[in-house]
A = this chain, B = another copy of it.
């Protein structure tokens, strides 16, 4: 069983065709996993739907508490990419003995994004196969939570 916590980010953004703006309505994780023909038992919980730039310390503590208190020890967290490493650091400080993988997307999955589906495929796999710890999984790669940063010019996560 893999626990999936939804927190928002580009991953779940939708296009409002009346005003041309992006907004959150609900997560599309379930639909995405069906398309991928996923057979791993999952429990999906939407904790919030936020741009990661709007995330507060309180939000991060809430995510940490859910990760800590849930029964599962294999966890995937969807998250905006801009502050993904900050949340990863909070989780690493507060949650032990679990494998937590943060992932996201550069293009909303509702836009037919392929990076969301590719990333969730790899995040689910890393959550099952990596030893306990907190990781970021993007672009097919995984990084220890404290050895990665997002390059804002290219939009790509890279090792530091």
Q: Are B112 and A111 in contact (CB under 8 A)?
A: yes
Q: From residue 106 to 160 of chain A, which have CB atoms closer than 8 A to chain B?
A: 106-108, 110-112, 114-115, 117-126, 128-130, 137-142, 152-153, 155-157
Q: In this assembly, does A44 line the interface, its C-beta being within 8 Å of a C-beta of chain B?
A: no
Q: Which of B37, B112, B157 is A112 in contact with, Cβ under 8 Å?
A: B112
How long is the Cα–Cα vector from A111 to B38 in the complex, in angstroms? 18
Q: Are A18 and B155 in contact (CB under 8 A)?
A: yes
Chain B residues in 8 Å Cβ range of A124: 122, 140
Chain B residues in 8 Å Cβ range of A157: 39
Q: Are A111 and B114 in contact (CB under 8 A)?
A: no
> This chain: how many copies in the complex?
4
A: residues with CB less than 8 A from B are 10, 13, 15, 17-18, 20, 22, 32-33, 35-40, 106-108, 110-112, 114-115, 117-126, 128-130, 137-142, 152-153, 155-157
27 residue pairs A–B, Cβ–Cβ below 8 Å:
A13-B20, A15-B107, A17-B107, A17-B155, A18-B153, A18-B155, A32-B114, A33-B140, A36-B117, A37-B106, A37-B114, A37-B115, A39-B156, A39-B157, A111-B111, A111-B112, A117-B118, A120-B121, A122-B124, A124-B140, A125-B129, A125-B140, A125-B142, A126-B129, A128-B141, A128-B142, A129-B142
